[in-house]
Amino acid sequence: MLHVKQLQDVVNSYFANYHIPEQPELLYKPIAYSLSMGGKRIRPVLCLMACEMFSDSYLPAMDAAAGIEIFHNFTLLHDDIMDKADLRRGKPTVHKLWNKNIALLSGDAMSIIAYRHIAATKNQTAECLEVFSNTALQICEGQQIDMDFENNDNVSISQYLEMIQKKTAVLIACSLKLGALVGGAGNREADLLYDAGINYGLAFQLQDDYLDVYGKKDVFGKNIGGDITANKKTYLLIEALNSADFVNVALLKKILRNKSISSSEKIEQVTAIYNRLKIDVLCRNKISEYFTLGLQRLEEININDQQKNRMIGFVESIAGRKF
């Protein structure tokens, strides 16, 4: 059984040696660029880990892991067009470095390449393809629901959780389930890992929302307060707006509407309201709740403790804390 770091090296070395055709250059160079940007490789590592739970080796999961990582990067590429984002992981986005048409088309090609990898899995291929297609479609639904939120001032917490489940959590769950399936797991184990993945995925996204306000820039990797500046509907903002404390809610709404306020003032004032409403505590509790649910699903699987502990350790390292 490899260490997490070794599995990350496996994935990074796989992509460092990944064959991408040379021509047409404007189709394939953006794909190579996108795949070389790195990131934590969370999904492929989870996929390889899940495979090793049921197989001697992570190797049967390489195609599934690659397909999921390529698909993930495809969604980032197209999301960046839709969000007009200039930077991704500190580097210029594809549509900025080339142009929108090139980003659109090379994204399309990445989605096809991703499917080619999933179709190349050698074990329980039909099941893998079905889970992958359902996941991929839910990710599109999640992205659309997220865009719909921009014009909706009455988003409920359950609507928000549905959105992040589709946009983020299902791909984490799919990574684990596909790894399990190609590793030879039965339906029960594969489904337990899927459910664990949904809970971990929800926790990761809530953690991301939390760190946007309460994180440290050098650890978080993004500017603090970006969601607040953009009036982005996060778990924190929706909980705050749904609070019974009408005075603070009215104040919060006034700040959100105020277009002359500076970014730093806005971040400071909104954070103060979150603190008064104890939204930080609420959010941390919710994150712990989802991690615990994920852990419970993992505990139900009949594998040795070493396997379980490796996965828990990885999940905690992503979250940046223990549970």
Minimum separation from the CB atom of position 27 to a second copy (A):
4
Minimum separation from the CB atom of position 21 to a second copy (A):
8
The enclosing H or E element of 165 equals none
- Within 10 angstroms of residue 218's Cβ, the number of other Cβ atoms is 6
End-to-end CA distance of the chain: 24
Return the DSSP state at 169.
I
Binding to a second copy, residues 16-45 (CB under 8 A): 23-24, 26-27
Q: Which is nearer to a second copy, 169 or 236 (CB)?
A: 169
Is residue 136 a contact point for a second copy (CB under 8 A)?
A: yes
Minimum separation from the CB atom of position 58 to a second copy (A):
23
Report d(CA 79, CA 43) in Å as an integer: 18
Place of tokens 């990885």: 314
Is residue 156 a contact point for a second copy (CB under 8 A)?
A: no
Do residues 32 and 19 lie in contact, with contact meaning Cβ atoms separated by under 8 Å?
Answer: no
Give the ranges where the chain is alpha helix by DSSP (H).
Answer: 4-16, 25-36, 42-52, 62-82, 94-97, 100-119, 125-149, 157-164, 170-182, 187-214, 217-220, 226-229, 235-241, 246-257, 263-276, 279-299, 305-319
Binding mask 87-116 toward a second copy (x if CB under 8 A, else -) reads: --------------xx-xxxxxx-xxx-xx
Minimum separation from the CB atom of position 14 to a second copy (A):
19
> Quick one: 290 exposed, middle or buried, by C-beta within 10 A (0-12, 13-18, 19+)?
buried
Minimum separation from the CB atom of position 182 to a second copy (A):
15
Binding mask 239-278 toward a second copy (x if CB under 8 A, else -) reads: ----------------------------------------
Is residue 119 a contact point for a second copy (CB under 8 A)?
A: yes
Q: Which of 56, 86, 130, 265 binds a second copy (CB under 8 A)?
A: 130
Q: Which residues bind a second copy (CB under 8 A)?
A: 23-24, 26-27, 78, 81-82, 101-102, 104-109, 111-113, 115-116, 119, 125-126, 129-130, 133, 136-137, 140-141, 143-145, 147-148
